[in-house]
Amino acid sequence: MVTNAFNTDKEGQINRAEIFKLLSLEIQDTRWQRAMRAIRDAMRVVGKATYVRCYQRPTPDAKWQHITIDLAKA
């Protein structure tokens, strides 16, 4: 399980989903706890995105219509 989490793909990237699976395991071994703390300490956010969805309707009983707004250009 641990080896699988740290296998890399063709670009040399590890599978983050597998790492998060390891972090979610509740193992009470001291060495395991230290290892999981080390992984958490090594993690950093490279970037993030915020998404907003806007809808409108011409009348209160009309169907909602999706509005596309390019916030980068706004």
In sequence order, which residues have a C-beta less than 8 Å from that of residue 35 and are 6 or more positions away?
none
CA 54 – CA 56 distance, rounded (Å):
7
Q: Which two tokens stand for residue 5?
A: 């989490």
pLDDT digits (tens, 9 = 90+) for 37-59: 999 999 887 787 777 788 899 99
Percent of the chain scoring above 70 in pLDDT: 97
Q: Tell me how far apart the alpha carbons of residues 52 and 72 are, in angstroms, rounded to a whole number.
A: 12
Q: What is the mean pLDDT of residues 34-38?
A: 94
* d(C-alpha 59, C-alpha 69), whole Å: 21
pTM: 0.56
Distance, CA of 69 to CA of 74 (rounded, Å): 8
CA 29 to chain centre: 27
